[in-house]
Amino acid sequence: MPIGSPLERAREKVHLADIPTGTVPLEPEPSPGVTDSSVSWSDAWRRLWTPLDPDLIDAGYRGEWLVAGIRLLIILLMISFPLDQFLRSPMERDTQIVLWVAVAALAEALVLYSAVRRSWGRTWIGFLSGFLDVSLVTLSLWIFLRLDQPLAATNDLVIFPVYLLAIGATALRYDWRICVLTGASAIVEYLALVSYSAWQWDLVPLAAEFSWIAQLGRLGLLGVATLLATSLVIRAREQRLLSTRDRLTDLANRGFFDDNMNRLGAIASRSGEPVAVVMIDIDHFKRFNDSHGHLAGDAALKVVAKLLSVSFRTTDMIARYGGEEFAGLFPGMNMPYAVRRMEELRATIEQLPVPVDGHGNTRNVTVSMGVAVWPDDGASLVEVLSIADLRLYQAKHCGRNCVVSTTLEGEQGRRRGDKRRRRP
């Protein structure tokens, strides 16, 4: 972003002392032409292990549920074959080994399926299940080595494709890190198996039955599968992000807000922690647009949205609800704290300069806010949102540029009787 741009001047106006306690300050932008390898590596490492957006975690967990069910179904169908062989020849060493591997696979499938049903490890179970899936395939191939059949292990056409299935399934988790970990595990494990086989049984002279070129081709196939799965996840996440963001302000859009409100409502009902809901509206926005033009109106929305986006925790959510309205969800925030934070935010917005032309001229805007808290103000977050919207309406009629956290007597009935709602 060029220094001196309208948004940059607005950001410079918001000093750290003006931002309420507990907020996330803006990260400084690097100077042009200056690089810091240590900072770059640390930032990259931090981003690598930063938890995903809660909505992406939910989507990935639904994918994990699907994978767990399919895994269990496939193993239940396949275990009948080694079980039948064991019942026919219980004393044979080969059938015993195969059966034990099948039992281990069934145990893995049952444990993972049970964990997913109980919502255990929502942020890490995908890493574990992906690694265990490819490790189980490698274990199945190692059976041939235990049976002194190295060529069967390195030339197998039935078990090896399951590697590709396990890697492909990672695309359902919405996390490219799981794709990379699972694919890398498959490549390393299979390379170790082939290298050990070639060294232990001296397979290189058997050119007609063993070829390193063919094995490298298999490893390349695993790499391509990993790349495709990772690309699919990244592309899907980009599309999902575009569908959930407001293009002008880069905040969440109303649809995404409503979906997260339902999710937070379910979490709050289990934990019992309060959830504050805030409705925010820029005062006299139509008059501001008429006086200074729509570009200035867009600048006002961006400046307010930028401050909102950096003023709260990562667990909170701010969305552009429509027009000049914003909405916020704040888990664990009670009414006194919510009112104090919103008052601080309102006072900060009042001081923000909004550029109205290309000559450095600025104006200020104010906002009105309505605050409500679950469960005190409603049995569901939908009801609480309605109460917050009602209090925003009251703030408009109480002079604007204020925060309203209580419902005035008789105001709710008057609001219901309004046939047409106007917000200057």
What share of the chain in percent tops pLDDT 90? Answer: 48
Q: Which residue has the higher pLDDT, 313 or 372?
A: 372
pLDDT at 6 over 50: no
- Res 22: pLDDT: 35
Using alpha carbons, select from 311, 378, 322, 386 the residue that is nearest to residue 349: 311
The total of other beta-carbon atoms located within 10 Å of residue 364's CB is 13
Q: Which residue has the higher pLDDT, 89 or 218?
A: 218
**Residues paired with residue 330 on neighbouring β-strands, in sequence order:** 276
Q: How confident is residue 162, by pLDDT bands cut at 50, 70 and 90?
A: very high
pLDDT at 244 over 80: yes
| Rounded-to-integer distance, Cα 325 and Cα 279, Å | 7
Q: Which domains does the chain have, with CATH numbers?
A: 6-20+250-417 (3.30.70.270), 54-243 (no CATH)
Q: How confident is residue 2, by pLDDT bands cut at 50, 70 and 90?
A: very low
* Low-confidence winner among 16-25, 148-157, 257-266 (lowest mean pLDDT): 16-25
Quickly list DSSP for 295-325: HHHHHHHHHHHHHHHHSS-TTSEEEEEETTE
- Res 68: pLDDT: 93
Q: How confident is residue 382, by pLDDT bands cut at 50, 70 and 90?
A: very high
Average pLDDT in the chain: 82
- Res 78: pLDDT: 83
Residue 411 catalytic?
A: no
* Low-confidence winner among 45-49, 103-107, 387-391 (lowest mean pLDDT): 45-49
pLDDT at 170 over 50: yes
Q: Which of 64, 108, 324, 325 is catalytic?
A: 324
| Rounded-to-integer distance, Cα 332 and Cα 301, Å | 27
User: Tens digit of pLDDT for each residue in 107-127?
Assistant: 999 999 999 988 888 888 999
